[in-house]
C-alpha cells in the first residue's frame, strides 16, 4: 500500500504527512511486524513506514507528536520481541538516504548511515584491508540498532570505535555528538529514548588481511558451533550477570530445552529462546518470566533482558 492510498482529507496529521506529495517513502497500514523481526513474531503496526529522506522522517515524527501517535524507529528487528497485539502507532525504518557507506582513507574512518547493515561495514573494512570490526561479523541488524544497543561481544563493542554520532533529538534538532560523550554500557547507551540515530563515524586500523580474515572466520565458526542460527530468535535474550553466564545459569536451573507453546529455550545455547514455528510473543514472554523466576529463586540473581519489548504494557 503506498502513501497516496490515504484519503484525500486525511484524518490526522500523520495521515496528512504520509499522503503528501513531498513524502518520500513507503507506507503499509496494519502491517504484521512478524515480517520485520528475526523472531518472525509480532502483531500489526498501525503504520509501518520506510522514510527515505530526512525531511520525510522529520515531518512524520513531528506529526506523530501533534497527534499523540506513539512512534518508534527500528532497524532490522533483530533484537525485538513485539507483542501479539502489535503496536498501535508508527514503526519507522530508515530508507535510501540513510543507507550510505563512505570511507576516508586519510583518517581511516567510515561515515555510515544508520540504515546501513552492520555487516556491510564489517565486509567493507575487510575488503579495504582495515581491522577492528571483526568482532561484529555475523551480528545481524543495522548501524542504528548497533549504536542504540552498543552491539558487540564480551570484550569488543561498537561504541569503542565511534568518533561521532549524528542524531535527531526529541526536540527535532539535528545534533552531532562525540563518541566520547556517549556512555557505552553493556548493551546499553546513554542516548535518550526518543533520539533517532542517523549516521556515525567509525574508526578502523590498517591491518593484515590474513589476520583480519582469520579473526572473522574464528568468530563465525564460534557462532555456528554454539548458536541456533537456523531458527528464528533475537540472539541472546539476557545480559550476562557480572562474572557469570546467563546461559549457564539457565542450564543449571534445568530449563535448557524447555518449551512454552511455540517458544523453546534452545537446546544448543540456553540464552537463546527460539521460535519453533508457531511461536507467539506471549509464549516467549512467559518463558522469559519463568527463567527469571527460577534463576532468582535458585541463585538470587535477577537476569536482565537484552531483548527490547515493543507493544507490551
Ligand X SMILES: Cc1cc2nc3c(=O)[nH]c(=O)nc-3n(C[C@H](O)[C@H](O)[C@H](O)COP(=O)(O)OP(=O)(O)OC[C@H]3O[C@@H](n4cnc5c(N)ncnc54)[C@H](O)[C@@H]3O)c2cc1C
In the bound state with ligand X, the residue whose beta carbon lies nearer, of 130 and 189, is 189
Q: Is 240 in the site for ligand X (CB under 6 A)?
A: no
Of 42, 89, 131, 152, the residue at the interface with ligand X (CB under 6 A) is 152
d(CA 284, CA 287): 5
Nearer to ligand X, 14 or 197 (CB): 197
Q: How far is 310 from 313, CA to CA, in rounded Å? A: 9
Question: Is residue 141 near ligand X by the rule CB under 6 A?
Answer: yes
Starting at the earlier edge strand, list the strands of the sheet with 109-113: 101-104, 109-113, 196-203, 162-168, 174-178
Which residues ranging from 194 to 223 are in contact with ligand X (CB under 6 A)?
196-197
Q: Return the residue of 52, 189, 231, 233 that touches ligand X, per CB under 6 A.
A: 233
Q: How far is the CB of 110 from ligand X (least distance, A)?
A: 16
306 is catalytic: yes
Query: Which string of x and - marks every residue 244-283 that binds ligand X (by CB under 6 A)?
Result: ----------------------------------------
Asked if 114 and 147 count as a contact pair (C-beta separation under 8 A), the reply is yes
Q: How far is the CB of 143 from ligand X (least distance, A)?
A: 8
| Paired strand residues for 111 | 102, 201
Kindly tell me which of 16 and 250 has the beta carbon lying closer to ligand X: 250
Among 42, 43, 131, 144, binds ligand X (CB under 6 A): 144
User: Which residue is catalytic, options 233, 236, 266, 280?
Assistant: 236
Kindly state whether residue 161 participates in binding ligand X, applying the rule CB under 6 A. no
Catalytic residue list contains 211: no
35 is catalytic: no
Q: Which residues within the stretch 65-104 sit at the binding site for ligand X (CB under 6 A)?
A: 72-80, 94
Q: Tell me which stretch binds ligand X (CB under 6 A): 19-27, 171-179, 205-213, 227-235.
A: 227-235
User: Which residue ranges make up the site for ligand X (CB under 6 A)?
Assistant: 38, 72-80, 94, 114, 139-142, 144-146, 148-149, 151-153, 196-197, 229, 233-235, 308
What residues are annotated to the active site?
187, 236, 306
Amino acid at each position: 500500500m503506498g502513501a497516496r492510498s490515504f484519503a484525500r482529507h486525511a484524518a490526522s496529521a500523520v495521515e496528512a504527512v504520509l499522503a503528501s506529495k513531498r513524502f518520500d517513502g513507503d507506507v503499509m497500514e496494519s502491517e504484521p511486524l512478524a515480517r520485520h523481526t528475526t523472531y518472525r513474531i509480532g502483531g500489526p503496526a498501525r503504520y509501518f513506514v520506510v522514510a527515505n529522506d530526512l525531511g520525510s522522517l522529520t515531518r512524520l515524527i513531528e506529526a506523530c507528536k501533534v497527534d499523540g501517535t506513539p512512534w518508534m524507529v527500528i532497524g532490522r528487528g533483530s533484537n525485538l520481541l513485539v507483542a501479539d497485539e502489535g503496536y498501535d502507532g508508527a514503526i519507522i525504518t530508515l530508507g535510501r538516504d540513510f543507507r550510505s557507506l563512505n570511507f576516508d582513507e586519510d583518517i581511516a574512518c567510515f561515515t555510515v548511515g544508520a540504515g546501513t547493515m552492520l555487516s556491510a561495514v564489517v565486509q567493507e573494512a575487510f575488503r579495504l584491508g582495515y581491522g577492528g570490526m571483526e568482532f561484529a561479523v555475523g551480528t545481524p541488524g543495522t548501524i542504528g540498532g548497533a549504536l542504540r544497543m552498543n552491539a558487540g561481544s564480551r570484550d569488543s563493542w561498537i561504541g569503542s570505535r565511534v568518533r561521532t554520532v549524528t542524531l535527531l533529538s526529541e526536540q527535532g534538532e539535528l545534533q552531532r555528538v562525540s563518541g566520547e560523550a556517549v556512555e557505552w554500557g553493556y548493551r546499553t547507551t546513554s542516548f535518550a529514548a526518543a533520539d533517532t540515530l542517523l549516521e556515525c563515524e567509525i574508526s578502523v586500523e590498517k591491518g593484515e588481511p590474513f589476520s583480519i580474515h582469520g579473526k572473522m572466520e574464528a568468530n563465525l565458526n564460534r557462532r555456528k558451533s554454539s548458536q541456533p542460527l537456523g531458527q528464528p530468535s533475537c540472539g541472546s535474550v539476557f545480559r550476562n550477570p557480572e562474572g557469570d553466564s546467563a546461559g549457564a545459569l539457565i542450564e543449571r536451573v534445568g530449563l535448557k530445552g524447555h518449551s512454552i507453546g511455540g517458544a523453546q529455550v534452545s537446546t544448543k545455547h540456553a540464552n537463546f529462546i527460539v521460535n519453533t514455528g508457531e511461536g507467539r510473543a506471549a509464549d516467549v514472554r512467559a518463558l522469559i518470566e519463568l527463567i527469571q523466576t527460577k534463576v532468582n529463586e535458585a541463585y538470587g540473581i535477577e537476569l536482565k533482558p537484552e531483548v527490547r519489548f515493543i507493544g507490551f504494557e
